[in-house]
């Protein structure tokens, strides 16, 4: 009954100007779905990589940009997904492509106890604790479990049952599905009641709690969602790469690239990570032969962005006239808006 | 005998880890943001010592006379020119900037010095040992490390406890807004704290370079050890750093004695265990603040 007195701000009403982005979106999606039929193998592999980095970036952005959880340990779940693939496909005989959703579930199951520990920590403690946990998992897998192949890792031999082209095409579509789930999952989550809670937490966590937002529950939903995406991505990456080694699967670079992507594109928006992933791939392609230089330059760019454009490239594009591709912002009801002006 | 020598080695290793943690604890306690480039800056200091010894012909320990003031200025500049600009936006910008810096330092060192492992040569002291009992021999330099650590801890404790500037450090840590009202320039305090942290890092880097060989990508592991020292000891506590270092060192050597692959893992597990039981560490001294 109290419910009826609460004025829930509505998402922006859809206007005719939304028709154009929707049309563009349909064209892009159609092009992406049919890509294996018209693009070269090189393009397809590049787009595949783009798609899974986009999925990881969206998940990290939701976590860091909205829920204020600055994780530098998502590689823990990428690695868990990768080893989930190895165990399920090799030892349990499950179809490798089916292990992708199963790896997401595995990551969530392991993320629940991890979240009990992490959620007692704040800010910088949280950040480094995520990394310590990822290192702990890596070292455990690396040295102590012969079954997982130790430091040499294991190869997913059961992928040999698929023809190479079929494997690459299926892998590509799985990556596309994953990216779509990540982008639209974040989109619909942000438009839901949980999304409203999240945006309140982003603006001020204590304030949100004081008006009755269940901050802990909301943050846990986000953390588990991000773990699921990272787990599925881990399984997918090693369907493509076949050979799973702990140093690579649990590499801090999975976190680092994603942080660079989100910082370049713009933290706390859906559009930012998309733009960021595009720019990241463009830069990485240009610097492909100079690996040390490219990491150095990405580090410098992250520093510069934080100093001069903390809202990222998308924030720069939006300074004068807001472009809303993904409408997640909310408008106050008229009577509150009028009241505000009258003050 | 084996148990005793394991414990002794753990204590001596812990002295080095406490050195890693000391500089980080200082800035973490005052600014409440973590410097993710801390480990890489230790390695950077070691390479700067390498250059100093080669160019000026000094021994590594003598090079500290040049290195400590230089590092102090770098730290002061980093805080005042870069990190202080982002203070109003919470801890995330500083975390991301230092994360970016970490990649800049690692790859800059790789480009400048190649991935070959290097070592600082101090001379005979590196390999000298003292035999305490049959089968129990400990190195002289690790004992010296422990002594250096203790001197720095007591000096830092006296500085924080007895001087006007130390009091300003603690006031800024507890409540920067009120400290500002009392006429303390918070941004200057942050700059000095980072400078002091970098001066400590200079000593840490030289000690590390004499004790073991090093390469451009050694930083992240040093950061993790430093952070574990703070988690175990408790944020802001200077004596906690000593306790954290010793516990981490002993945990690693005991783990390593059971099985060489448990060495680092045992340290991580003890750290996570402390986080479960006492999330603010054994001897926390700072006030909780958002």
Every domain of chain B and the residues it spans: 1-277
Pick from B32, B271, B290: which is nearest to A132 by CB? Answer: B271
For residue A147, pLDDT over 80 is answered with no
| Residues composing chain B | 290
Interchain CB distance below 8 Å, A64 and B85: no
DSSP structure class, residue A243: E
With an 8 Å Cβ cutoff, is B88 touching chain A? no
List chain B residues with pLDDT less than 50: none
Q: Which of B91, B98, B99, B236 to mutate to test the interface with A (most CBs of A within 10 A)?
A: B99
Residue span of the structural domain in which A83 resides: 40-155+162-251
Helix-helix angle B186-211:B164-174, to 10 degrees: 100
pLDDT of residue B16: 95
pLDDT of residue B189: 93
Q: Model confidence at A111, in pLDDT bands (50, 70, 90)?
A: very high
> To the nearest whole angstrom, how far is the Cα of A83 from the nearest Cα of chain B?
19
Query: Would you say residue A342 lies in a domain?
Result: no
Q: Is residue B263 a contact partner of residue B255, using CB atoms and an 8 Å limit?
A: yes
pLDDT of residue A10: 52
Instruction: Identify all chain A residues contacting B224, using CB atoms and an 8 Å cutoff.
Output: 128, 131-132, 135
Cα separation of B114 and A80, whole Å? 33
Residue A136, class by beta-carbon neighbours within 10 Å (0-12 exposed, 13-18 middle, 19+ buried)?
buried
> To the nearest whole angstrom, how far is the Cα of A77 from the nearest Cα of chain B?
18
Q: Is residue A178 a contact partner of residue A55, using CB atoms and an 8 Å limit?
A: yes
B51: which 2 tokens? Answer: 């250059």
With an 8 Å Cβ cutoff, is A129 touching chain B? yes
With an 8 Å Cβ cutoff, is B87 touching chain A? no
Cα separation of A58 and A326, whole Å? 13
pLDDT of residue A5: 44
Q: Which of A303, A304, A305 to mutate to test the interface with B (most CBs of B within 10 A)?
A: A303
With an 8 Å Cβ cutoff, is A295 touching chain B? yes
Residue A281, class by beta-carbon neighbours within 10 Å (0-12 exposed, 13-18 middle, 19+ buried)?
middle
Cα separation of A115 and A223, whole Å? 8
Pick from B85, B86, B265: which is nearest to A140 by CB? Answer: B265
With an 8 Å Cβ cutoff, is B81 touching chain A? no
3-class secondary-structure state, position B117: coil
Average pLDDT, chain A: 86
> What are the φ/ψ torsions at residue B118 (nearest 5 degrees)?
-120, 170
Q: Is residue B252 a contact partner of residue B48, using CB atoms and an 8 Å limit?
A: no
Residue written as token pair 């006239």:
A321
Which is higher by pLDDT, A144 or A287? A287
Instruction: State the complex-level ipTM.
Output: 0.89
For residue A340, pLDDT over 50 is answered with no
Q: Kindly report which listed range (A148-152, A180-184, B148-152, B154-158) carries the lowest average pLDDT score.
A: A148-152
Q: Is residue B246 a contact partner of residue B10, using CB atoms and an 8 Å limit?
A: yes
With an 8 Å Cβ cutoff, is A253 touching chain B? no
pLDDT average, residue stretch A6-23: 59
With an 8 Å Cβ cutoff, is A27 touching chain B? no
Query: CB-side exposure of A322: number of CA atoms within 13 Å?
Result: 8
Q: Model confidence at A343, in pLDDT bands (50, 70, 90)?
A: very low
Instruction: Give CA angle at A112 (A107, A116), nearest 5°.
Output: 140
> Please, which residues have CB within 8 angstroms of residue A297's CB and are 6 or more apart in sequence?
A283, A287
Cα separation of B81 and B79, whole Å? 6
Cα separation of A174 and A176, whole Å? 5
Distance of CA A338 to the CA centre of its chain: 38
DSSP structure class, residue B184: -
Distance of CA A102 to the CA centre of its chain: 18
**Which residue, among A295, A61, A291, A253, has the nearest Cα to A138 in the 3D structure?**
A253
Q: Model confidence at A324, in pLDDT bands (50, 70, 90)?
A: low
With an 8 Å Cβ cutoff, is B279 touching chain A? yes
Query: Would you say residue A103 lies in a domain?
Result: yes
Q: Model confidence at A4, in pLDDT bands (50, 70, 90)?
A: very low
Cα separation of B37 and A300, whole Å? 13
**Which residue, among A75, A117, A82, has the nearest Cα to A100 in the 3D structure?**
A82
**Which residue, among A218, A208, A212, has the nearest Cα to A2 in the 3D structure?**
A212
Q: Model confidence at A6, in pLDDT bands (50, 70, 90)?
A: very low
Query: Would you say residue A20 lies in a domain?
Result: no
A31: which 2 tokens? Answer: 């092009």
Asked: is B1-277 a CATH 1.10.10 domain? The reply is: no
**Sign of the Cα pseudo-torsion (B269, B272, B276, B277, in order):** positive
For residue A50, pLDDT over 60 is answered with yes
> To the nearest whole angstrom, how far is the Cα of A337 from the nearest Cα of chain B?
27
Query: Would you say residue A16 lies in a domain?
Result: no
pLDDT of residue B271: 92
- Give the number of other Cβ atoms within 10 Å of residue B58's Cβ: 16
DSSP structure class, residue B218: G
**Which residue, among B246, B219, B252, has the nearest Cα to B36 in the 3D structure?**
B219
**Sign of the Cα pseudo-torsion (A270, A272, A274, A275, in order):** positive
For residue A161, pLDDT over 90 is answered with no
**What is the residue-wise DSSP string for B114-175?**
-S--B-----GGGT-EEEEETTEEEEHHHHHHHHHHHHHHHHHHHHHHHSHHHHHHHHHHH-
Query: Would you say residue A67 lies in a domain?
Result: yes
3-class secondary-structure state, position B130: strand
Q: What are the tens digits of pLDDT across the range A232-267?
A: 999 999 998 888 888 889 999 899 999 999 999 999
The strand pair at A243-244 and B136-139 is best described as unpaired
pLDDT of residue A333: 64
Please state the domain count of chain A. Answer: 1
With an 8 Å Cβ cutoff, is A203 touching chain B? no
């Amino acid at each position: 009954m109290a419910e009826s007195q609460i004025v829930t701000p509505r998402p922006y009403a859809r206007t005719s100007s939304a028709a154009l982005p929707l049309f563009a979106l349909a064209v892009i999606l159609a092009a992406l779905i049919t890509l294996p039929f018209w693009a070269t193998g090189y393009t397809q592999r590049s787009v595949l990589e783009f798609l899974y980095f986009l999925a990881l970036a969206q998940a990290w952005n939701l976590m860091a940009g909205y829920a204020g959880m600055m994780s530098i340990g998502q590689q823990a779940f990428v690695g868990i997904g990768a080893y989930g693939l190895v165990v399920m496909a090799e030892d349990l005989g499950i179809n490798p492509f089916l292990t992708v959703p199963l790896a997401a579930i595995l990551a969530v199951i392991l993320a629940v106890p991890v979240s009990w520990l992490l959620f007692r920590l704040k800010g910088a403690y949280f950040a480094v604790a995520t990394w310590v946990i990822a290192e702990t998992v890596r070292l455990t897998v690396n040295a102590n479990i012969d079954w997982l192949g130790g430091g040499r890792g294991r190869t997913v031999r059961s992928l040999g049952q698929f023809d190479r082209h079929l494997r690459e095409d299926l892998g590509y579509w799985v990556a596309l599905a994953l990216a779509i789930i990540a982008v639209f999952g974040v989109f619909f989550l942000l438009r839901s009641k949980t999304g409203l809670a999240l945006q309140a937490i982003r603006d001020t966590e204590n304030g949100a709690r004081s008006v009755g937002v269940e901050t802990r529950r909301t943050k846990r939903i986000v953390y588990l969602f991000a773990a699921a995406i990272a787990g599925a991505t881990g399984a997918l990456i090693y369907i493509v790469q076949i050979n799973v080694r702990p140093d690579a699967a649990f590499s801090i670079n999975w976190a680092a690239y994603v942080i660079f992507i989100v910082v370049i594109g713009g933290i706390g928006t859906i559009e930012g990570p998309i733009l960021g992933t595009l720019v990241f791939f463009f830069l990485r392609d240009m610097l492909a032969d100079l690996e040390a230089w490219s990491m150095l330059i990405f580090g410098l760019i992250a520093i510069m962005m934080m100093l001069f454009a903390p809202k990222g490239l998308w924030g720069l594009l939006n300074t004068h006239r807001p472009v809303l591709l993904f409408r997640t912002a909310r408008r106050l009801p008229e009577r509150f808006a009028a009241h505000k002006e009258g003050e | 005998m084996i148990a005793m020598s394991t414990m002794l080695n753990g204590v001596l290793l812990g002295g080095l880890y406490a050195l890693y943690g000391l500089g980080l604890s200082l800035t973490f306690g005052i600014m409440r943001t973590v410097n993710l480039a801390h480990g890489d800056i230790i390695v950077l200091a070691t390479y700067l010592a390498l250059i100093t010894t080669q160019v000026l012909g000094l021994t590594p320990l003598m090079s500290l006379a040049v290195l400590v003031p230089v590092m102090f200025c770098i730290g002061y500049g980093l805080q005042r020119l870069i990190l202080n600009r982002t203070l109003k936006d919470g801890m995330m910008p500083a975390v991301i900037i230092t994360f970016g810096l970490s990649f800049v330092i690692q790859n800059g060192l790789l480009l400048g010095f190649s991935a070959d492992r290097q070592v600082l040569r101090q001379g005979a002291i590196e390999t000298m040992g003292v035999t305490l009992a049959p089968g129990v021999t400990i190195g002289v330099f690790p004992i010296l490390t422990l002594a250096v650590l203790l001197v720095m801890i007591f000096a830092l404790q006296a500085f924080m406890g007895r001087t006007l500037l130390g009091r300003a450090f603690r006031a800024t840590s507890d409540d920067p807004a009120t400290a500002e009202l009392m006429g303390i320039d918070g941004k200057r305090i942050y700059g000095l704290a980072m400078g002091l942290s970098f001066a400590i890092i200079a000593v840490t880097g030289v000690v590390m370079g004499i004790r073991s060989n090093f390469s451009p990508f050694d930083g992240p592991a040093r950061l993790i050890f430093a952070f574990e020292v703070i988690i175990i000891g408790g944020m802001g506590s200077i004596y906690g750093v000593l306790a954290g270092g010793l516990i981490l060192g002993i945990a690693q050597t005991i783990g390593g004695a059971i099985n060489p692959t448990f060495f680092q893992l045992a340290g991580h597990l003890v750290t996570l265990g402390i986080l479960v039981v006492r999330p603010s560490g054994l001897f926390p001294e700072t006030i909780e603040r958002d």
